[in-house]
Amino acid sequence: MAGPRRTCIACRTQAAAGGLLRIAWPAGADGPVVGGTPGGRGAWVHPTDDCLAALRVERLSRALRRTVTADAFALLLDGLRRAAADT
Ligand SMILES: [Zn+2]
């Protein structure tokens, strides 16, 4: 029961934050990245093929309150898939 719980922005179910990949948009970056520095606005997603496939740029933009471009989203997905493979 320890630790914060977060909602996966793909499947909308809650999980322990440690079991999700964090997405953040660091100050000065061109787009969102996997991980990022603590604090600030973040989004979370399960490190699973299903949730990464279900992730939508519109929902991510809403979660981060910034417009994510298609190119930035493609780069982020690559990073998420790599991070998921390491999990
Ligand atoms: Zn999920």
Domain span holding position 38: 5-86
CATH number (domain holding residue 81): 3.30.1230.10
8 CA distance to ligand 1 centroid (A)?
Answer: 5
50 CA distance to ligand 1 centroid (A)?
Answer: 7
pLDDT of residue 28: 87
CA distance 2 to 51: 24
28 CA distance to ligand 1 centroid (A)?
Answer: 28
pLDDT of residue 2: 63
CA distance 59 to 19: 20
Residues with CB under 5 A from ligand 1 (ion): 8, 10-11, 46, 51
**Domain total in the chain:** 1
pTM reported for the whole predicted model: 0.89
pLDDT digits (tens, 9 = 90+) for 45-86: 999 999 999 999 999 999 999 999 999 999 999 999 999 998
